[in-house]
Amino acid sequence: MMSPDRRLNVAMLGTKFMGRAHAHAWRSAGRFFDLPAEPGRRIVAGRDAEATRAFADRWGWEEATTRWRTAVSHPEVDLVDVATPNDLHAEQAIAALEAGKHVACEKPLAGTLEDARALRDAARRAEGDTFVWYSYRRVPAVALAHQLVRAGWVGRIYHVRAVYLQGWGGPETPLLWRFRRGRAGSGALGDLSAHIVDMARFLTGEEIVEVSGSIVETFIKERPLPDDPSRTGRSTVDDAVLFLARFAGGAIASFESTRLATGVKNANRIEIHGERGALRFNFERMNELEVFSADDPPPLQGWRTIQVTHEDHPWTGSWWPDGHGLGYEHTFVNQVADMVTAVSGGTPVVPLPDFEDAYQTQRVLEAAVVSARERSAVRLSQIR
């Protein structure tokens, strides 16, 4: 199935960080995977005409436009890839669904719960498939963890401990769009917490039923303006979010996301402990999964570090020989491969999140915000 005659034509909205990662993935998936259809890079939409044209040239898109509605309703397009800021997801993705397209939307599903609900509802009504780019599910080590939990490696789950730590958000970092609620919807919450909530739900296979306490914090309230660092403006998003939660199956969990974990660049880290075993993952060493089995004889028990690059691991057989690790953008390529497989009637290597699924993640984020707002803290001054 090297050069499939079938094509899956894509319209992509957005040309920044995510646009670039998606473009690479649409362009490369068919090189490494034997796909049922070759993705066609049909049209890309951006706000700046010249930059969008240059982007299209560089990444090989047939057409460039500044009018996203043109792209979304393009008759030759099968799938619309929404890689724009969070506040645009709802309008764009709903339009695409209504035009009868499949839609792949960047995470989080939306900047607000209302938008997310509208997207979920639109997806229910639509004929097209929906996907959300929670691409960390496509890290081979994460997918292996998912498979191991399914296979009973962990057993009844007691603990989930998830953090997403970044350290770039110190006081000297300027007031980028990521610090403006209107554009971003939230700070660490939608940017980082969304990832770890999806990851925890994906790995455990369980829903969160309760948020048991939450802190949403903005440490740096004023930041230098990007254009004029001598002046400052107000950050309207959170820098860090911590919350405790309970899963349907009884596990208890903590979630922490922050942009102020000095010294840490990109630690999307999760630890799961169950009755029969345990798992640990850290994106900073993305080609490794640590597993523990309580079935080993006690004096030989220990955490096993698996290099997840074996041909029998998820996706890795399509890449390089064992021991040759993948990098960040491979997760997007893997996701393209799985989405093309799914819309062609096949089964992805591990489940792909659709709008319904991503809406559940969004509800958890909302519960964290509500919990923090209610602020039912116990002051130490009450304890004598």
Residues 267-306 binding a copy of itself (CB under 8 A) are: 273-278, 284-287, 291-292, 294, 296, 298-306
For the beta carbon of residue 15, count every other beta carbon within 10 angstroms.
26
Q: Which residue, 127, 130, 120, 132, is CA-closest to 98?
A: 127
Stretch touching a copy of itself by CB under 8 A, among 68-76, 184-192, 254-262, 343-351: 254-262
Torsional sign, CA 29, 33, 39, 41: positive
CB 62 → a copy of itself: shortest distance, Å?
15
C-beta closer to a copy of itself: residue 161 or 181:
161
- How far apart CA 153 and CA 265 sit, in angstroms, is 30
Interface with a copy of itself (CB under 8 A), residue from 5, 17, 227, 230: 17
- Taking CB under 8 A as the criterion, the residue among 8, 10, 21, 340 binding a copy of itself is 21
Site for a copy of itself in 54-73 (CB under 8 A): 54, 57-59
Query: Does 181 interact with a copy of itself (rule: CB under 8 A)?
Result: no
374 near a copy of itself, rule: CB under 8 A = yes
For position 329 contacting a copy of itself by CB under 8 A, the verdict is yes
Cα 326 from Cα 320, distance rounded (Å): 9
DSSP state of 161: E
Site for a copy of itself in 115-174 (CB under 8 A): 117, 144, 158-159, 161, 163, 166-168, 170-171
* Residue position matching structure tokens 């090989």: 60
| Interface pick for a copy of itself out of 173, 266, 318, 351 (rule CB under 8 A) | 266
Closest to a copy of itself by CB, 158 vs 236, is 158
Instruction: For residue 230, give the 3-state DSSP assignment.
Output: coil
Q: Closest distance between a copy of itself and the C-beta of residue 189, in Å?
A: 14
330, 349, 353, 355: which one contacts a copy of itself (CB under 8 A)?
Answer: 330
Contacts of 286 by beta carbon, 8 Å cutoff, 6+ apart = 139, 141, 325, 326, 327, 328
DSSP codes of every residue in 257-293: EES--TT-S-EEEEEEEESSEEEEEEGGGTTEEEEEE
**Amino acid identity at 125:** R
Of 5, 75, 127, 327, the residue at the interface with a copy of itself (CB under 8 A) is 327
Contact 141, 287 (CB under 8 A): yes
Paired residues of 274 in beta bridges? 157
Q: Report d(CA 109, CA 103) in Å as an integer.
A: 11
52 lines the binding site for a copy of itself (CB under 8 A): no
Residue 46 three-state SS: coil
Restricting to residues 206-235, name those near a copy of itself by CB under 8 A: 207-215, 217, 219
Q: Give the whole-angstrom CA distance, residue 181 versus residue 185.
A: 5
Least distance between a copy of itself and beta carbon 206 (Å): 12
237 binds a copy of itself (CB under 8 A): no
Asked whether the beta carbons of 51 and 20 are under 8 A apart, the reply is no
Among 49, 234, 322, 346, binds a copy of itself (CB under 8 A): 322
Instruction: Give the footprint of a copy of itself on residues 32-51 (CB under 8 A).
Output: none
Stretch of residues binding a copy of itself (CB under 8 A), selected from 23-31, 89-97, 129-137, 185-193: 23-31
Size of the site for a copy of itself (CB under 8 A): 110
**Which residue in 87, 106, 238, 256 binds a copy of itself (CB under 8 A)?**
256
